[in-house]
């Protein structure tokens, strides 16, 4: 993507009512206005709040919002030029329960209050295969601790990935910590019992992976012993 297109999208994001772009300082200083108030002050309702972490172009955020109008969906990514597409689609199609937040995933426990989130989706994260990148894996114990803080006690987490490494790593971490694994499969498109919502919403990259013959894995779990 050219720099002119990026700048144009950044500018449009500033005017989109469904995009939130807080300054890092207000998050770190605990002055971010929506913390503990996302439902009441941003979405203006009391519907469940569901996050997509590392939302990319926002296909899953928008797709879920269309299917589940009685929940609020918030896609989170640091790359605003990517989720611009999802935000624009949501506005064009009047999908009022989908919105986007530009920030770093590691700040999630400072952006949301304790127990404020109902569910989390993690779709096709970078598996960070090299050992020295372990701290950046989105299902490592430190990230799970942050998710547990913001999730309700029975809150669900969904992980969908093309990386067998990420799938296996996550299962190992969950089993080691004694967390509840509700569902796990290494190739959902050959498993006819896979949840419908998992196979019928696809990201751009997922469709590319499927054309390449890659298996798509899915895990659903709770951070509950």
Give strand ranges (E) for 14-84: 19-20, 49-53, 72-77
* Count of helix runs (H) and strand runs (E) in the chain: 9, 8
Q: How far is it, in rounded angstroms, from Cα 90 to Cα 96?
A: 7
Q: What is the SS3 assignment for 210?
A: helix
Q: Does 118 participate in catalysis according to the annotation?
A: no
**Opening angle at CA 186, ends 185 and 187, nearest 5:** 95
What DSSP element (H or E) covers 33?
A: none
Cβ-based burial of 17 (10 A; exposed 0-12, middle 13-18, buried ≥19): exposed
Among candidate residues 29, 41, 126, 154, the one labeled active-site is 126
Q: Which residues are catalytic?
A: 126
């Amino acid at each position: 993507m050219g720099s002119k297109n990026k700048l144009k999208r950044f500018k449009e994001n500033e005017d989109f009512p469904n995009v939130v772009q807080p300054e890092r300082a207000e998050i770190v200083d605990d002055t971010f206005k929506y913390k503990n108030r996302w439902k009441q002050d941003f979405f203006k309702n009391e519907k469940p709040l569901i996050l997509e972490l590392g939302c990319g172009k926002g296909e899953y955020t928008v797709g879920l919002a269309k299917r589940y109008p009685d929940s609020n969906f918030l896609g989170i990514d640091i790359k605003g030029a990517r989720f611009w597409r999802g935000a624009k689609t949501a506005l064009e199609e009047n999908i009022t329960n989908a919105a986007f937040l530009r920030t770093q995933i590691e700040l999630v426990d400072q952006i949301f209050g304790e127990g404020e989130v109902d569910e989390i989706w993690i779709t096709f994260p970078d598996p960070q295969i090299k050992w020295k990148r372990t701290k950046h894996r989105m299902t490592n114990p430190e990230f799970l601790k942050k998710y547990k803080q913001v999730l309700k006690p029975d809150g669900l987490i969904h992980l969908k990935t093309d990386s067998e490494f990420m799938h296996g790593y996550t299962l190992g971490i969950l089993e080691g910590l004694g967390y509840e694994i509700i569902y796990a499969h290494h190739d959902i498109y050959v498993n006819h019992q896979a949840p419908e919502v998992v196979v019928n919403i696809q990201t751009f990259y997922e469709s590319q992976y499927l054309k390449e013959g890659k298996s798509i894995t899915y895990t659903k779990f709770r951070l509950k012993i």
